[in-house]
C-alpha cells in the first residue's frame, strides 16, 4: 500500500532489537462519502476497482455514507472525481497515522500488573497481543483450567505455515452436548475480536469454577468451540507490517496477495459483495473453501455436524448484530427467521443494556442495503437448517472515525457486553 515506511524496533528483554518495516499512514485521510443512489454506489465501486490503494473501511451503499481511507498520493484525483460526479463528502480524519498511534498506545506494565492482581486474570486484557503472545495465553489458560479447556490444532496450517488453534470449553462431562462455534479474527485488522474471545474464554472458565450460575448453565448445557485467531497470517501481518490488512496472506501474483476469507465460504460464492480483481480487499478466491483457514472451519463443522446448534462469526466494526441471509440484494430470510429473531432481539437488548452501547439488529440488506456472498454464518445455516447463525460487528459504531483502531481500554467493555449477549443466547436457544 504505502511506499513510506519506517523501522519499528522493539527492544526485547534480551536487548535484541527486532526491526520490521511498518507501513505508515501519514497524510492518509478518512473520508465520509455520501451516496445518493445506486449510480453513486456504482461510481464509487468502480473507483475501488481502479484504485486498489483506496481502502473502503465500509462499503458504499445507497443513501448512506461509505468510510474510505485515501492515501495522500490519490487525494487530489479522488476528490476531483467525487466533485465531477457531484458526490459530497466530509473529512473524518486528516491523518490516519495519528489514529493508529493513539490506538496502539500500550497500557503501562505496572497498571496491567495491578489490574491483573485485582481480578486474578491470567491474560492481560488491557493490551492487544501478537499471535505468538495469544498462543502463549491460550496455553496458560489451558494449564490453569485443564478441566474446562482443551487446546488443539485445526486441520490445515496457513500459507505461511502457522497453526490455527481451536479451544474447546466444556463443563460437566457428557458427550453429544449441543455445540456452539465462535469464530473471531477472520479479518486481520479487527483486533477487538480475538481480544474479546480471550476475555470471554477466561471469564467462562473462572466463573464456572467459582460456581457462577451463568457459566455453569453455559458450559454444562453446551460445548463451546472458540477459534480465537482464525487468520493468523493476516493477524501477524497487521502487527509486523500493515495495521490495515484484512485478508489472508496467500501469494497470488506480484501485485496480488490475499483472499477475503469471509467471501470464501460456500454460500452463493462469488456473487454479491465481491470483486474479481485479485488485489481487492473483497476478492473471494478461486472457489469456495480454496483457503486453509475456511477449510479448517468447514472440517470442524462437519466433525461436530450433528451437535452444532449455533455459529457466531465475530467482526468489527459498526455495532451490528446481523442475521441471515447476508448474501441477497433484497430482504430474504431463512426458514427459522422467527426463532432466530426472537433470540437475537433479546441478545440485542442485553448488548445495549450492559454499557448503554447502541447496537443495531437486522440483515445486512436491512441495515445497509448491502449484500455479501460467501460469508461464514450464511454457509453454516445453509449447511444445517435451523441453526442459530449470526454475525457480530463489535465496537465502535459505524460512524466512529477510529474504525478498526479501537483503543485497548475498550477491550473489557466490548467483551462484557458480548458475553452478556451469549449468556442470553445460551439460555434462550431451543435445542
Ligand X SMILES: *[C@@H]1O[C@H](CO)[C@@H](O)[C@H](O)[C@H]1NC(C)=O
152 binds, among Zn ion, ligand X, none (CB under 5 to 8 A by kind): none
CB 154 within 8 A of CB 165: yes
Shortest Cβ distance from residue 178 to Zn ion (Å)? Answer: 26
Nearer to ligand X, 65 or 363 (CB): 65
Spatial CB neighbours of 183, under 8 Å, sequence gap ≥ 6: 227, 230, 297, 311, 312, 313, 314, 376
Shortest Cβ distance from residue 399 to ligand X (Å)? Answer: 6
65 binds, among ligand X, Zn ion, none (CB under 5 to 8 A by kind): ligand X
Shortest Cβ distance from residue 193 to Zn ion (Å)? Answer: 8
Shortest Cβ distance from residue 194 to Zn ion (Å)? Answer: 12
315 binds, among ligand X, Zn ion, none (CB under 5 to 8 A by kind): Zn ion
Grid coordinates representing 134?
495469544
Nearer to ligand X, 64 or 313 (CB): 64
3-class SS shares of the chain: helix, strand, coil, % to 5 = 40, 20, 40
32 binds, among Zn ion, ligand X, none (CB under 5 to 8 A by kind): ligand X
Question: Is 34 among the residues that bind ligand X (CB under 6 A)?
Answer: yes
For residue 18, the SS3 value is: strand
34 binds, among Zn ion, ligand X, none (CB under 5 to 8 A by kind): ligand X
Tell me how far the alpha carbon of residue 301 is from its chain's centroid. 19
Most distant CA pair in the chain, distance:
65
CB 228 within 8 A of CB 204: no
- Catalytic amino acids? 393
Nearest to 327 by CA among 278, 288, 279, 277: 288
414 binds, among Zn ion, ligand X, none (CB under 5 to 8 A by kind): none
51 binds, among Zn ion, ligand X, none (CB under 5 to 8 A by kind): none
DSSP 321: E
Q: Tell me how far apart the alpha carbons of residues 207 and 217 are, in angstroms, rounded to a whole number.
A: 11
64 binds, among Zn ion, ligand X, none (CB under 5 to 8 A by kind): ligand X
Identify which range of 44-52, 180-188, 349-357, 400-408 contacts Zn ion by CB under 5 A. 180-188
Grid coordinates representing 199?
476475555
Identify the bridge partners of residue 224 per DSSP, sorted by sequence position: 169, 180
Binding residues for Zn ion restricted to 183-212, rule: CB under 5 A: 187
Question: Is 156 among the residues that bind ligand X (CB under 6 A)?
Answer: no
Nearer to Zn ion, 186 or 205 (CB): 186
For residue 165, the SS3 value is: strand
Nearest to 286 by CA among 316, 252, 319: 252
Residue nearest to ligand X (CB): 65
Strand order of the β-sheet with 55-58 is 55-58, 64-70, 29-35, 89-93
Shortest Cβ distance from residue 408 to Zn ion (Å)? Answer: 19
Tell which phi-psi region holds residue 211, choosing left (phi > 0), alpha (psi between -120 and 50) or beta. Answer: left
Contact with ligand X (CB under 6 A): which of 61, 65, 230, 357?
A: 65
Identify which range of 54-62, 253-261, 280-288, 313-321 contacts Zn ion by CB under 5 A. 313-321
Q: Tell me how far apart the alpha carbons of residues 145 and 121 are, in angstroms, rounded to a whole number.
A: 12
Contact with ligand X (CB under 6 A): which of 5, 37, 90, 409?
A: 90
Shortest Cβ distance from residue 42 to ligand X (Å)? Answer: 18
Identify the bridge partners of residue 91 per DSSP, sorted by sequence position: 31
DSSP 106: P
Question: Is 62 among the residues that bind ligand X (CB under 6 A)?
Answer: no
Q: Is the sign of the CA dihedral 279, 282, 285, 290 positive or negative? A: positive
Nearer to Zn ion, 187 or 237 (CB): 187
Question: Is 263 among the residues that bind Zn ion (CB under 5 A)?
Answer: no
Nearer to ligand X, 34 or 156 (CB): 34
Q: Tell me how far apart the alpha carbons of residues 158 and 232 are, in angstroms, rounded to a whole number.
A: 8
Shortest Cβ distance from residue 274 to Zn ion (Å)? Answer: 14
Question: Is 32 among the residues that bind ligand X (CB under 6 A)?
Answer: yes
DSSP 267: S
Shortest Cβ distance from residue 425 to ligand X (Å)? Answer: 29
Contact with ligand X (CB under 6 A): which of 22, 35, 64, 193?
A: 64
Question: Is 315 among the residues that bind Zn ion (CB under 5 A)?
Answer: yes
Contacting residues toward Zn ion, per CB under 5 A: 187, 315
Contacting residues toward ligand X, per CB under 6 A: 32, 34, 64-65, 90
Amino acid at each position: 500500500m504505502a511506499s513510506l515506511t519506517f523501522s519499528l524496533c522493539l527492544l526485547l528483554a534480551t536487548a535484541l532489537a527486532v526491526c520490521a518495516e511498518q507501513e505508515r499512514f501519514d497524510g492518509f485521510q478518512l473520508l465520509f462519502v455520501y451516496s445518493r443512489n445506486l449510480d453513486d454506489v456504482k461510481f464509487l465501486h468502480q473507483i475501488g476497482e481502479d484504485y486498489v490503494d483506496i481502502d473502503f473501511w465500509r462499503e458504499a451503499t445507497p443513501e448512506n455514507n461509505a468510510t474510505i481511507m485515501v492515501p495522500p498520493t490519490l487525494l487530489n484525483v479522488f476528490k476531483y472525481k467525487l466533485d465531477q460526479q457531484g458526490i459530497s463528502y466530509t473529512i473524518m480524519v486528516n491523518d490516519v497515522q495519528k489514529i493508529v498511534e493513539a490506538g496502539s498506545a500500550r497500557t503501562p506494565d505496572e497498571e496491567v500488573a495491578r489490574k491483573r492482581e485485582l481480578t486474578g486474570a491470567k491474560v492481560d486484557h488491557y493490551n492487544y497481543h501478537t499471535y505468538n503472545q495469544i498462543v502463549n495465553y491460550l496455553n496458560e489458560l489451558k494449564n490453569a483450567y485443564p478441566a474446562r479447556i482443551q487446546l488443539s490444532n485445526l486441520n490445515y496450517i496457513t500459507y505461511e505455515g502457522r497453526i490455527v488453534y481451536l479451544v474447546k470449553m466444556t463443563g460437566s462431562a457428557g458427550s453429544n452436548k449441543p455445540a456452539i462455534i465462535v469464530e473471531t479474527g477472520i479479518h486481520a485488522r479487527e483486533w477487538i475480536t480475538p481480544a474479546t474471545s480471550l476475555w470471554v474464554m477466561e471469564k467462562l472458565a473462572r466463573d464456572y469454577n467459582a460456581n457462577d450460575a451463568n457459566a455453569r448453565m453455559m458450559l454444562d448445557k453446551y460445548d463451546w468451540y472458540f477459534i480465537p485467531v482464525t487468520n493468523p497470517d493476516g493477524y501477524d501481518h497487521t502487527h509486523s507490517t500493515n495495521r490495515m490488512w484484512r485478508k489472508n496472506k496467500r501469494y497470488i501474483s506480484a501485485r496480488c496477495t490475499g483472499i477475503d476469507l469471509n467471501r470464501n465460504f460456500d454460500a452463493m460464492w462469488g456473487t454479491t459483495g465481491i470483486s474479481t480483481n485479485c488485489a481487492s480487499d473483497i476478492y473471494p478466491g478461486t472457489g469456495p473453501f480454496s483457503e486453509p483457514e475456511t477449510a479448517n472451519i468447514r472440517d470442524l463443522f462437519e466433525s461436530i455436524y450433528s451437535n452444532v446448534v449455533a455459529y457466531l462469526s465475530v467482526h468489527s466494526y459498526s455495532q451490528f448484530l446481523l442475521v441471515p441471509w447476508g448474501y441477497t440484494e433484497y430482504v430474504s430470510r431463512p426458514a427459522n427467521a422467527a426463532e432466530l429473531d426472537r433470540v437475537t432481539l433479546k441478545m440485542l437488548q442485553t448488548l445495549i443494556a450492559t454499557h448503554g452501547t447502541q447496537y443495531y439488529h437486522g440483515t445486512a440488506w436491512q441495515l445497509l442495503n448491502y449484500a455479501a456472498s460467501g460469508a461464514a454464518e450464511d454457509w453454516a445455516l445453509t449447511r444445517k437448517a435451523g441453526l442459530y447463525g449470526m454475525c457480530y460487528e463489535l465496537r465502535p459504531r459505524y460512524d466512529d472515525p477510529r474504525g478498526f483502531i479501537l483503543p485497548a481500554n475498550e477491550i473489557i467493555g466490548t467483551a462484557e457486553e458480548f458475553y452478556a449477549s451469549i449468556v442470553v443466547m445460551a439460555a434462550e436457544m431451543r435445542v
